[in-house]
Amino acid sequence: MEDALYRIAQEAVHNVVKHASATSACIRLSAEDGSVRLTVDDDGSGFVEADVPRGHLGLAGMRSRAEQLGGRLLVSSRRGEGTVIEVCFSQRA
């Protein structure tokens, strides 16, 4: 679990640095009521997910890792308004 969360956060931050032209980003990790949530948000340029060129595997890789954890990856982004990447899953006993 720790490695998958680390890799998702790493890829999300890499995308902020490479694509977002952001002035700030925030990484939050919380565990509450049996669920874990990782959020990476920025104040960058934002994007439309449908416009991401084929062959760019960052989002697909993050989504796959989230699914391996039994969770989901949510992407909220609008041009000029930044991006929020959120992973949520149930904590395993």
Domain residues for the domain of 55 are: 2-90
**CATH number for position 38:** 3.30.565.10
Measure the CA angle with vertex 23, ends 18 and 27; round to 5°. 75
Taking alpha carbons only, the member of 70, 89, 87, 80 closest to residue 27 is 87
The predicted structure's pLDDT at residue 30:
97
Residue, of 52 and 77, whose pLDDT is higher: 77
Q: What counts of helices (H) and strands (E) characterise the chain?
A: 2, 4
Q: Quote the number of domains for the chain.
A: 1
Per-residue pLDDT of 30-41, as tens digits, reads 999 999 999 999
Tens of pLDDT, residue by residue over 9-67, are 999 999 999 999 999 999 999 999 999 999 999 999 999 877 777 777 889 999 999 99
Q: What are the residues facing 38 on neighbouring strands?
A: 29, 87
